[in-house]
Structure 1
Amino acid sequence: MGKLSATAVKAAMRPGRLGDGDGLFLMIQPGGGKSWVCRVQKNGTRRDFGLGSVSKVSLATARERAREIRTWVELGLDPIFERRKVRGIPTFRQASAKVIAANSKTWRNEKHEKQWLQTLETYVFPQIGDLQVHEITGPMIRNLLSDIWLAKPETARRVRQRIGTVLDWAYASGYRETEAPMRAITKGLPRQPKQDGHFAAMPYTKVSAFMVKLTERESFSRLALRFAILTAVRSGEVRGAAWEEFDLEEKLWTIPASRMKASREHVIPLIDNVSHGTIDVVTRHRMI
């Protein structure tokens, strides 16, 4: 028989903790809020598990939940994981949606989200999309990767990374008892062929002659390349440049933080050759 009664729980007002016995406590906050906590200790480790607000969980229900948690601990089970299973474990497809929604706030453009969805819908969901995340095993992941591992090595590596991210979320959320064995999966796949490295950089002594050659014919691609060389920016920053970023009177190009890799605004001074040469030619093309 517990020490508390329904009447005592309702009447309790003083901030603090009241014990019912067997590790069940009524927690009273300074603001008047009341909640249940179950405290369990095993092998020298103590853990507290919240059981819900008094306004939603009765004393009888709190006692039942506390007994359930103590039983799980005695059996060597993780109460958090077991409670997740009771509420329902998401499928890989459902977990992917939650991961994408959480990460899309930090992605700088919609393209990354579309790439995630496209690769998962094409290579992952047909095989494991409807399985619950705790059912997904290393061999399952290895099998779906093996279909594209050699034929599409870069895509396969991205798919592997995205599967790992989703299953890491599932493990951290208590939906899996173990992490996905991504390292072992990779070792179980054949070695991918080496990719060619980056293009060799042009020797600086040849740049001036190359710049002259670029002016032999006007086109958007040649103008963009000249502009990138003269301003020393990444190609993506040139391709995504908007007219409102340029102040031709002050000879300044201000790239907003949202378009910069470091997420910091970048201001580039423009010389006459850049501001009134390249941009003016691009403007003429645009008007035509």
Structure 2
Amino acid sequence: MKESKRQLHKLSTKFVEATTEPGRHGDGGGLYLTVRPGGSRSWVFLFKVGSKRYEMGLGSFDARGQAGFSLAQARAKAAGAQAQLKNGENPLLASRATQNELVVRENRTFGAFADSYLASIQTRFRSSKTVVDWKRNIEVYAGPLREIAVDRISTDDVLSVLEPLWETRFRTAREFRGKIEQVLDAAKVKGVRSGENPARWKGHLEIILGRGQKRKAKHHPAPPYRSMPEIIRKLRQRHAIAATSASLALEY
């Protein structure tokens, strides 16, 4: 049965702003203004599902709707909750589920997950240096990834932090890539990520990055053959002092 217009919008903005009488003041449609003994005001939505009564906080009162909610805004929120009830939803449980989802998202950035993962495994390390290396990798080198949701990290994201290191600091980059892969594998095990690991090496990043820049051997120029007698003489002088495998090999 629908509430008549008389039963709705019983409160006025003037009353809401001025009243200091503690208690609940009904506006109709399940919306109430709660005034506390100290004078603070907040909105609450009361409703029933079956035989069970629920109380859903809608926020504090603010005439301008900036730090809290004005009367008009509170009515709109209550109307939204009423619509959920008509659709068979419990607005309080739906609101809690949304808040929980937001909390999970905030705590599931790559940075937050990597930090918590490191905290869970650092007791396995034999050296404190390993912990320092991990921290440097996930806090400094992986800095551009930290605010990205862990389930949104892509191959392009991984390449963006690896490529600047790959040709100049190959060993560091190689170890760094392994740590990213390990963090993303852990995220998949924890159920906060799915699909292929974008930091995977075999059959994936190896195709794009290759095996890094190989250092070229530095060769010394061969001495002129006319200088060989003098070189041999000096080597044999060294033999007389202390025979070394290096000088003997060089003479050979």
Which is higher, the Rg of structure 1 or of structure 2? 2
